[in-house]
Amino acid sequence: MFLTLRWRANNAGESRVAGIRTAEAPAAKKPLWTQLYLQVLVAIALGAVIGHFWPATGEALKPLGDAFIKLVKMIIAPVIFLTVVTGIAGMRDIGKVGGVAAKAFAYFITVSSFALVVGLIVANLLQPGAGMNIDPATLDAEAVKGYAAKSHDMTIVGFLMDIIPATVAGAFVDGNILQVLFFSIPFGVALAMIGERGQPALDVLNAVAEAFFRLVAIFMRAAPIGAFGAFAFTIGKYGIESIQNLLILVATFYGTSILFVLVVLGSIAALNGFSILKLLRYLKEELWLVLGTSSSEAALPSLMEKLERAGAAKAVVGLVVPTGYSFNLDGTNIYMTLAALFIAQALGIQLSLEEQLLLLGVAMLSSKGAAGVTGAGFITLAATLQVVPSVPVAGMALILGVDRFMSECRALTNFVGNAVATLVVSRWEGQLDREKLAAVLNAAPGELAARPVEADAD
């Protein structure tokens, strides 16, 4: 779906707008069964069937999902490095880089903080844990001991120090997004500062970037296999029936996240001149992939490529998307306040307004330390509860069984939030091509072409 397409305008009037063949030369629609999003959707359904009726087989399929995610993670670091460096070096105006970063962080802090408030309000209004009357003494503290232990390492100072890699190669070896960014940004600035002498290196990096995006296209063909294995394992391991007792919490979280995407992010999108529903349709392949693998990282390379194709400047995409994956976690933030209050309600603990505001403030800081941590949402929740003594960390055992089902929604909401953030910041910078954006968002299904490149010279 992301294969690079080279073609020229001919005398018959064929034209190109943002990688779309216009009405003068309509692109032939591909058969429905070749569409990646449909393949992933079918794979998810098959995985659910296998996991439900043959749970042992479903659990055994876990390596398929793990292998696909590892395959994608393998190329995330070089894709981010190449995108950031070529984007910044191509800007030449170094002052713009600081402006993009400042606007991105202003957006992240505002919107992600609002997501925390939304979770807090919904939990107080709907009271999903009320009436469970669980005795704290009966909780299995051992079940969440590992998560609580990991959360001790998530101090703000430790998080900031971890951004600096021990070596340049170490950042790429570990695949730490923030460490790769920490090196990529100043390297891109340095390449821009040496001017024309750096052009040969920039040309090489641009060519290598094209090769990596082609590699992304190749790897993405395995997405249905990864989604099939990951979903079969989830259902086989935890079972559909495992969410029945906590269905209210799961439904509340999904409903709140959907409301946040459609109303909050939808309003932000509308104010910036595009439709959230059309954006969701444009990113449907990536959304299905995130749902199937429960990992927004699985779709990070293709998200960057699609946003650039939609008219967002390369430098903005390279800066906002990777940093957003660490600092703009809307879904995780909704989950944290909602889950914390659910635990308190289930244990019959009445939190005062001051305690709830303390919870919100701690969550606002600890959520920024979740970058690159496996099971980040659950671990961050443990870190938050340890600072708010009113709610015992052992209470997390109540939601341990259904956390895996909520992780898909966290990943989806985070993913959409970062797509919106990138387009908004690009518009604020005056670097959003409105014609390209309108073209890809208004294109009929099957009409979107692959990522265009400049035609070969005659």
pLDDT of residue 107: 92
Residue 426 in tokens: 């690009």
pLDDT of residue 422: 93
Task: List Cα–Cα distances, 26 to 13, 29, 444, 446, in angstroms.
Answer: 11, 9, 11, 11
107-159 pLDDT tens trace: 988 998 899 899 889 988 988 877 766 666 655 555 455 544 444 455 556 66
Longest dimension (CA), the chain: 79
pLDDT of residue 419: 94
Measured at the CA of 415, the angle between CA 312 and CA 68, to 5 degrees, comes to: 105
For the chain, the structural domain boundaries read 97-187+244-442
pLDDT of residue 401: 58
Q: How many residues does the chain have?
A: 458
pLDDT of residue 93: 63
List the chain residues with pLDDT less than 70: 1-37, 91-95, 132-160, 175, 177, 238-246, 365-380, 382-383, 386-389, 397-398, 400-402, 404, 444-458
- 97-187+244-442: CATH homologous superfamily? Sodium:dicarboxylate symporter (1.10.3860.10)
The pTM of this model reads 0.67
212-247 pLDDT tens trace: 878 877 887 887 888 788 778 877 876 665 455 467
